[in-house]
């Protein structure tokens, strides 16, 4: 019987192999691109490089890389040994193509690259040029064309010879003592090219540019890298294949390149238009600290504009100060264009030139009104339409102050598996006023030393009304006084020394009151809705520029509440753990969290994104738990997507009925740990796909009967889920649909690994398949 089973397995194995070989044979024949070639045509298989007699193997990869760049044309791309792009192109152009062939052709289709299209003489010249750029001046190239029945290639045998090395750099003085001394100083201190370094034309070009930039910083306004030239002297060295590089200023260089320039005058045009002359006949001039502000009527106060100028009269020209002045003026958000131009005035007897700096500022419209209909997906996992109205004044007090008045009305609901969560839909309305002042506004003077941009002071007042059906109404008042500044393009700081949030809950339903009565800790978190405190956030992001294929994002947030008020009351003699202010119990806590993300490009359009989030809230003194609005939640479209919205935790806690809506309130915590991994890839046009795995949970700092306290065993209470997703990505707008299932989830006896996936069972799917809809990417 056992022999029969083994014989049966062998027979099945043979049939599987035969079927696989047959399938690959049919696929290979259908993708055979050479059968469509004309008589005498051969597909080009590329140029094969053979480097011989290399002086040093450590330079081989560098030389191969440069030679491959000019090894043209490139043969047709192969995927798993098949030229799919060429096959699709041939199908579309010569035969009746199906959907798959048309789709492949649109994505990677390409015309045939033939052997007779190769211009070998041109390739040889380009290879010789590349080798000379790297110091191989005695190279030799032989080639052989290899022809097969339907394909062919060119084999290049390359003997680069010995590479030239640089013995030293000698600077040939021009007689201008200042310029000569500066160039000699740079060569001595920076040592851009070291002794016995291999010759590289690109390195010499970079050195010329660096010297030019160095001289510009010393005021040499007209100096450029094209004014410098390197010449190789191979006769004055004792060793073969060594050269002394002679650096000099070109003979035909203008006399102006040898002259440093200082700023004689500064003219600022705060309301410049191309339709008018620079100042206009009726323009008034205001002189402030030797700077002339020219405007027909006061559009921008000169005393408010002057601090943005790094360019100063009497100082040498500085490209760095020009750049910072430009960035600071642009950071005002008052101007559409900032243009700094220089005009040569004269040359002084002491050999110093003079420039007039003209700063032209073209403003945006001072006032604007906008209305917007949005589809919103919030971090609290609510989605729905919002209608927003906004009025903006960009220059309220003629000092770049921006006043923003806004109002909104929206409907929000939590969607899960196509259904609206019971009791979790809401209507929200609100108004807000925000004043942004482009300078530090403090009770005490602060000396500003911000080169990149000047900090902004923000004052904000807002009121929101949230009607959460079947539960309660919530009135929220917020007042914020804070600062925002950017030390560079990647970093943003936000500091709010004063943040006062007051929340009033009314129209509580009987179901909501019953829920609070059965959970005193939850009731306590809703009682303390007066939250006076301060907050700070730090953000470092490489996403603002597509500078490399591997980019990072990091943010840190710190939130403190009630500490200053509690300290003042302690000094005043008020004791106890339930202090009140104006009869209102206030919250006292510290809350910290960080978010680290990595975006790794894989190919042109695919990306692997990973994320780690961790947060902790520490209630103390006046609080035994965080206010409800400050607690952490897990599960949902922007969290662990295999679980329903806010259905995880704390710890091992599970509600008896997760469909009654109460889990929205119960399943929150003081601590959150979460990790996500997502591979994003293109499908067709603006449709993209994703495969992801999420893990995480929330826990409590203090036990409250829900078995959710954070312990050293927390790693065994982490839920894990995996899934796939579709994204409609239209550049500025992304609609997202994800479907996921738990891999590790909580059960009656704790967390367990799920090893039985019954996708054909409707009951199993209802419990374990979770659909999530979102606007924008989850992270």
CATH number of the CATH domain containing 175 = 3.10.20.310
Burial of 734 (0-12, 13-18, 19+ CB in 10 A): middle
Domain-located, residue 27: no
Same domain, 474 and 488: yes
Q: In which residue are the tokens 């994505």 written? A: 107
114 and 204 housed in the same domain: no
**Residues 353 and 247 placed together within one structural domain of the fold:** no
Query: Would 12 be classed as within a structural domain?
Result: no
* Residue range 381-413, pLDDT digits in tens: 566 778 889 999 999 999 999 999 999 998 877
The span from the CA of 120 to the CA of 135, in Å, is: 23
Q: Is the dihedral of CA 266, 268, 274, 278 positive or negative?
A: negative
Q: How far are the Cα atoms of 135, 181, 184, 329 from residue 451, in angstroms, in the given order?
A: 42, 29, 30, 12
Same domain as 390, residue 331: no
Q: Which residue has the tokens 């520029």?
A: 545
CA 563 – CA 745 distance, rounded (Å):
38
CA distance 501 to 227: 63
Instruction: Tell me the per-residue pLDDT of 128-172, one tens digit each, with 9 for 90 and over.
Output: 999 999 999 989 999 999 988 888 999 999 999 888 999 888 998
- The 3-state secondary structure of 647-678, one letter per residue: CCCCCCCCCCCCCCCCHHHHCCECEEEEEEEE
Per the structure, how many domains does the chain have? 4
Which of 318, 344, 363 represents a domain boundary (last residue)? 363
- Coil, strand, or helix at residue 522? helix
Based on the fold, state whether residues 571 and 472 are members of the same structural domain. yes
* 24 assigned to some structural domain: no
Q: Could you tell me the two tokens for 91? A: 């199908």
The C-alpha torsion from 481 through 487 and 490 to 494, rounded to 10°, is -10
Among candidate residues 218, 235, 258, the one where a domain is terminated: 258
- Check if the beta carbon of residue 200 is closer than 8 Å to that of residue 276: no
Measured between alpha carbons, how far is residue 252 from residues 17, 208, 226, 229 in Å? 76, 17, 11, 11
Phi, psi angle pair for 531, to nearest 5°: -125, 90
DSSP state of 163: P
Looking at the fold, whether 76 and 93 belong to one and the same domain comes out as yes
Do 64 and 124 lie in a common domain? yes
Q: What is the DSSP string of 58-113?
A: GGHHHHHHHHHHTS-SPPPP-BTTB-HHHHHHHHHHHS---HHHHHHHHHH-----
Whether 433 maps to a domain, the answer reads yes
Cβ(215)–Cβ(251) below 8 Å: no
**Residue 651's domain is classified under what CATH number?**
2.40.160.50
- The residue from 363, 391, 414 where one domain ends is 363
Whether residues 637 and 689 fall in one domain: yes
Residue 326 belongs to domain spanning: 261-363
Judge whether 429 lies within some domain: yes
Residue 2 lies in a domain: no
Best CA proximity match to 259, nearest among 184, 354, 171:
354
3-state secondary structure of 715: helix
- pLDDT at 13 (0 to 100): 47
220, 275: one domain: no
User: Is there a domain that residue 228 lies in?
Assistant: yes
564 with 700, same domain: the answer is yes
Cα distances (angstroms) measured from residue 247 to each of 16, 207, 456:
72, 10, 48
Asked whether residue 401 falls in the same domain as residue 345, the answer is no
Q: Are 682 and 688 in contact (CB under 8 A)?
A: yes
Q: Could you tell me the sign of the dihedral formed by the alpha carbons of 37, 42, 45, 47, in that order?
A: negative
CA dihedral 198, 200, 206, 209 (to 10 degrees): 100
Question: Rounded CA gap, 93 and 601, in Å?
Answer: 33
Instruction: Please tell me the distance from the alpha carbon of residue 548 to that of residue 664, in angstroms, as a whole number.
Output: 41
Q: Please tell me whether residues 454 and 586 are part of one structural domain.
A: yes
What is the rounded distance in angstroms from the CA atom of residue 258 to the CA atom of residue 174?
Answer: 9
The alpha helices in 424-542, defined as continuous H runs, are 510-517, 520-527
3-state class of 637 per DSSP?
coil
pLDDT of 420 = 43
Whether 209 is in a domain gets the answer: yes
With a cut of 70, which residues of the chain have pLDDT below it?
A: 1-32, 55-56, 80, 95, 274-282, 374-383, 414-424, 447-449, 518, 520-528, 547, 573-578, 583, 655-666, 705, 731
């Amino acid at each position: 019987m056992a022999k029969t089973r083994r014989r049966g397995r062998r027979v099945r194995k043979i049939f599987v192999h035969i079927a696989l070989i047959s399938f690959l044979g049919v696929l290979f024949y259908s993708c055979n691109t050479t059968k469509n070639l004309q008589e005498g045509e051969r597909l080009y298989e590329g140029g094969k490089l053979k480097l011989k007699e290399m002086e040093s193997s450590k330079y081989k990869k560098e030389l191969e890389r440069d030679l491959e760049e000019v090894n043209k044309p490139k043969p047709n791309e192969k995927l798993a040994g098949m030229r799919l792009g060429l096959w699709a192109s041939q199908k579309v152009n010569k035969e009746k193509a199906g959907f798959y062939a048309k789709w492949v052709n649109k994505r990677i289709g390409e015309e045939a690259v033939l052997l007779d299209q190769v211009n070998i003489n041109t390739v040889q010249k380009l290879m010789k040029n590349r080798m000379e750029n790297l110091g191989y001046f005695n190279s030799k190239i032989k080639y052989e064309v290899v022809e097969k029945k339907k394909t062919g290639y060119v084999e290049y045998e390359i003997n680069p010879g010995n590479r030239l090395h640089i013995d030293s750099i000698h600077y040939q003085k021009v007689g201008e003592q200042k310029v000569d001394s500066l160039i000699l100083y740079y060569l001595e201190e920076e040592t851009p090219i070291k002794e016995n370094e291999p010759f590289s034309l690109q390195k010499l070009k970079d050195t010329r540019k660096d010297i030019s930039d160095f001289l510009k910083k010393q005021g040499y306004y007209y100096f450029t890298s094209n004014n410098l030239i390197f010449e190789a002297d191979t006769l004055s060295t004792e060793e073969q294949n060594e050269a002394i590089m002679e650096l000099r200023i070109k003979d035909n260089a203008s006399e102006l390149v040898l002259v440093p320039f200082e700023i004689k005058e500064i003219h600022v045009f705060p309301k410049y238009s191309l339709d008018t002359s620079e100042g206009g006949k009726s323009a008034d001039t205001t002189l402030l600290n030797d700077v002339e502000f020219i405007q027909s009527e006061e559009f921008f106060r000169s005393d408010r504009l002057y601090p943005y100028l790094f360019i100063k009269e009497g100082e040498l020209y500085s490209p760095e100060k020009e750049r910072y002045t430009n960035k600071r003026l642009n950071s005002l958000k008052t101007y559409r264009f900032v243009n700094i131009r220089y005009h040569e005035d004269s040359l002084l007897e002491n050999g110093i030139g003079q420039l007039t700096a003209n700063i032209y500022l073209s403003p945006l419209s001072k006032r604007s009104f906008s209305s917007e209909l949005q589809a919103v997906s919030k971090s609290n996992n609510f989605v729905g339409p919002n209608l927003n109205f906004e009025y903006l004044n960009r220059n309220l007090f003629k000092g770049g102050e921006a006043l923003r008045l806004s109002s909104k009305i929206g409907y929000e609901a939590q969607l899960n598996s196509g259904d609206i969560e019971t009791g979790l839909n809401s209507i929200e309305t609100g108004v807000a006023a925000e004043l942004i002042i482009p300078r530090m506004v403090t009770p005490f003077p602060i000396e500003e030393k911000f080169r990149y941009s000047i900090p902004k002071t923000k004052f904000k007042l807002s009121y929101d009304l949230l009607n959460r059906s079947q539960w309660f109404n919530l009135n929220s008042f917020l007042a914020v006084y804070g600062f925002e500044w950017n030390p560079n393009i990647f970093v943003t700081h936000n500091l709010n020394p004063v943040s006062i949030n007051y929340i009033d809950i009314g129209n509580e339903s009987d179901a909501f009151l019953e829920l609070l009565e059965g959970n005193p800790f939850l009731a306590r978190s809703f009682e303390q809705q007066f939250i006076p405190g301060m907050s700070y956030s730090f953000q470092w992001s490489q996403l603002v520029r597509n500078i490399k294929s591997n980019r990072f994002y990091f943010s840190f947030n710190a939130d403190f509440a009630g500490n200053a008020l509690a300290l003042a009351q302690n000094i005043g003699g008020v004791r106890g753990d339930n202090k009140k202010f104006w009869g209102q119990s206030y919250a006292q806590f510290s809350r910290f969290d960080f978010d680290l993300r990595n975006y790794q490009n894989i190919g042109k359009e695919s990306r692997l994104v990973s994320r780690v989030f961790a947060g902790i809230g520490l209630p103390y003194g006046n609080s035994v738990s965080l206010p409800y609005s400050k607690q952490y939640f897990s599960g949902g479209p922007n969290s662990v997507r295999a679980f329903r919205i806010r259905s995880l935790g704390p710890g091992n806690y599970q509600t008896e009925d997760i469909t009654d809506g109460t889990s929205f309130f119960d399943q929150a915590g003081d601590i959150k740990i979460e990790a996500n991994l997502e591979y994003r890839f293109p499908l067709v046009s603006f449709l993209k796909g994703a495969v992801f795995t999420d893990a995480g949970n929330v826990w409590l700092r203090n036990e409250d009967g829900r078995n959710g306290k954070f312990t050293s065993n927390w790693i065994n209470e982490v839920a894990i889920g995996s899934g796939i997703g579709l994204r409609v990505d239209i550049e500025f707008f992304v609609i997202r649909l994800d479907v996921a299932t738990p891999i590790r989830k909580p059960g009656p006896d704790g967390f367990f690994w799920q090893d039985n996936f019954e996708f054909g069972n409707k009951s199993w799917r209802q419990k374990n398949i979770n659909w999530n809809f979102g606007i924008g990417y989850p992270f």
